[in-house]
Amino acid sequence: TRALEKDPLAFLKRDARPCFDCHVGLGPGACCGQITPEDYAVNVRRIERFLAGSHREFVDELAAEMRAAAEELDFERAGRLKSRIDTINSLADKQHAVSSRDLNADVIGFFREETVAGVHVLVIREGRIVNSNEFVLNRGTDVPDQDLLRNFLFRYYDVTTSVPREVICAVLPEDAEAMGEWLTAKLDSAHGAKVRFTAPQKGEKADLLAMAETNARHALMRYKVRTNYDDKRINNALLQLESALALDAPPMRIECFDISTIHGSYTVASMVVFTGGKPDKNQYRRFKIKTPLSEANDFLSMQEVMRRRYAPERMADERFGSKPDLIILDGGKPQLTAALAMFEEMGIDDIAICGLAKRDEELFVPWQDTGPVVLPSGSASLYLVKQVRDEAHRFAITFHRELRGKGMTASILDEVAGLGPVRKKALLAHFKSFKNLKEATLDEIKAARVVPEEVAEELVAVLAQYNERKHEREEKLAEEIS
């Protein structure tokens, strides 16, 4: 091939010196006229088909040539062809078989995080994975997933020479039919085969799609590690927050608070901390609201939490870490008003604080008179703020559920006469959990020898009533949903 690059007509010069590959038997001799241009072109097309995954057709052609050579008693050529067929079959055997059918498809795995997406293409020919390609797309924040994937498909199939009969993806492009016609024209099948787009929900093809999507996610993870993408995104988010909120510096320590209450019971608050844009779970704190339930509301609860966290003695407490650069209150303007009133009472005026409205993701800041701050959709700063808010909400809800579970257990056991604190503790220690206790039989409770027989009988009766009420609530809820 190097000789042909220097002189395209080298194969016409019968006295041309063969290249090294030809000399050692690794080339067909196109450099010195040992093969005609027509035969050389046939070889090139065969190689293209093999690389595209269609090895069976290639093998069939070679087998026909081998039989013809044998009939002509050209056993040396027949032997060479047999060796070539064995080599091709050996290469094909190394390809991973994924389908019992002769599947001819490209499986497009897609996985996106924020502005960047990973794409993995599994190239399957004759039921075997013959190739795979991975790509990373970074096309801005406002491009929907479907449009991003559609644009990728156009670019990918515009340059590839291997067109499948089926393109498998999670969501069909809006113009899937038109794209199929375009690819059918590129395929130019002698058998009139058409290219179609499919989005399987179950079965073998859905499993292949799941594999491709997993590979796409891994491709994106490798890209992020390779480019320090997460660190860059976090740095951008902190710089964007500094600019949008007119802070003195990037908020390296962010504290976020959320109040959780259901029907006025077990009101709790959570405090989560993000240091350098990342969760700092050792600094998380939870607060039981001490204000009497008859007086409690979100306004008073927020004031109590601000007082307990930012009182001078707490600010000096190393367990609470350093002073925050930014406080975010989940709930918006009402929570901000409550916190500012408490800050004024405590004489605090050197901590940036804002309220995050749930509905429109608006940030209310006391030092700006131009209305709430709206961070750009899809921006790194908005993603960080939502991540902080969601983490505070999750942490508060988890604490609330723990307290509710403990309170429910205590209230049910309080209904049993003769079951005091010591016996309650002993029962729960024996059965390991309230769930195990309420499922225990009378004989099992008696066998524990923790409570007298009459107390055990009343306990079983109370637990039976509790289970019955719970079952009725579940049935009623199911009826409402249906």
Q: Which of 63, 94, 125 is the last residue of a domain?
A: 94
Amino acid identity for residue 130 in this structure: V
- Sequence-distant (≥ 6) Cβ neighbours of residue 357 within 8 angstroms: 331, 332, 333, 363, 364, 372
User: Is 65 within a domain?
Assistant: yes
Same domain, 297 and 357: yes
User: Is 66 within a domain?
Assistant: yes
pLDDT digits (tens, 9 = 90+) for 310-319: 988 777 776 6
In terms of Cβ atoms closer than 10 Å to its own Cβ (0-12, 13-18, 19+), residue 388 is: buried
What span, in angstroms and rounded, lies between the C-alpha atoms of 288 and 270? 9
Q: What is the pLDDT of residue 481?
A: 40
For the record, the structure tokens of 15 come out as: 């006295």
Same domain, 245 and 364: yes
pLDDT digits (tens, 9 = 90+) for 193-228: 789 999 999 888 998 999 999 999 988 888 887 777
What span, in angstroms and rounded, lies between the C-alpha atoms of 166 and 145? 21
- The residue to which tokens 């800041």 are assigned: 365
For residue 109, pLDDT beyond 50? yes
The residues pairing with 181 across neighbouring beta strands, listed in sequence order, are none
User: Is 402 within a domain?
Assistant: no
Same domain, 245 and 373: yes
Same domain, 291 and 334: yes
- Sequence-distant (≥ 6) Cβ neighbours of residue 191 within 8 angstroms: none
Q: What is the pLDDT of residue 145?
A: 86
User: Is 8 within a domain?
Assistant: yes
Same domain, 218 and 244: no
- Sequence-distant (≥ 6) Cβ neighbours of residue 70 within 8 angstroms: 78
Total domains in the chain come to 4
Does this model's pTM top 0.85? no
The mean pLDDT value for 71-99 works out to 71
Please name the residue ranges forming H helices in 228-297: 229-244
Q: What is the pLDDT of residue 391?
A: 92
For the record, the structure tokens of 85 come out as: 């067929």
**Which long-range CB contacts under 8 A does 185-191 form with residues at least 24 apart?**
186/157, 187/163, 189/165
CA angle in degrees (0–180, nearest 5) for 313-316-317: 90
Q: Are 260 and 269 a contacting pair, CB within 8 Å?
A: yes
Q: Is 294 helix (H, G, I), strand (E, B) or coil?
A: coil
CATH of the domain at 422: 1.10.150.20
16 DSSP 8-state letter: P
The residues pairing with 275 across neighbouring beta strands, listed in sequence order, are 253, 278
What span, in angstroms and rounded, lies between the C-alpha atoms of 379 and 458? 60
Conformational region of residue 129, where left means phi above 0, alpha means psi within -120 to 50, and beta covers everything else: beta
Q: Are 174 and 146 a contacting pair, CB within 8 Å?
A: yes
User: Is 350 within a domain?
Assistant: yes
- 98: nearest Cα among 218, 210, 217, 216: 210
Same domain, 220 and 110: yes
Name the least confident of 323-332, 381-390, 409-418. Answer: 409-418
Confidence band, pLDDT 50/70/90 cuts, at residue 65: confident
CATH of the domain at 366: 3.30.420.340
Same domain, 12 and 136: no
Q: What is the pLDDT of residue 170?
A: 92
For the record, the structure tokens of 400 come out as: 């609330």
The mean pLDDT value for 398-423 works out to 65
Q: Which of 361, 377, 393 is the last residue of a domain?
A: 377
User: Is 396 within a domain?
Assistant: no
What span, in angstroms and rounded, lies between the C-alpha atoms of 304 and 289? 7
User: Is 393 within a domain?
Assistant: no
- Domain residues for the domain of 344 are 236-377
Which position has the higher pLDDT, 305 or 406? 305
Same domain, 289 and 222: no
- Sequence-distant (≥ 6) Cβ neighbours of residue 82 within 8 angstroms: 66
User: Is 387 within a domain?
Assistant: no
Q: Which of 190, 206, 227 is the last residue of a domain?
A: 227
What span, in angstroms and rounded, lies between the C-alpha atoms of 395 and 390? 9
- 123: nearest Cα among 87, 165, 85: 165
For the record, the structure tokens of 127 come out as: 């039921």
pLDDT digits (tens, 9 = 90+) for 347-389: 998 899 999 987 778 999 988 777 889 998 888 899 999 999 9
pLDDT digits (tens, 9 = 90+) for 278-314: 999 888 988 888 776 555 577 888 899 999 899 887 7
Please name the residue ranges forming H helices in 415-452: 421-431, 434-438, 442-448
Same domain, 174 and 240: no
The strand pair at 196-198 and 285-288 is best described as unpaired
In terms of Cβ atoms closer than 10 Å to its own Cβ (0-12, 13-18, 19+), residue 416 is: buried
Same domain, 246 and 343: yes
- Sequence-distant (≥ 6) Cβ neighbours of residue 267 within 8 angstroms: 259, 260, 261, 288, 289, 291, 293, 296, 301
Same domain, 347 and 471: no
Same domain, 284 and 208: no
For residue 82, pLDDT beyond 70? yes
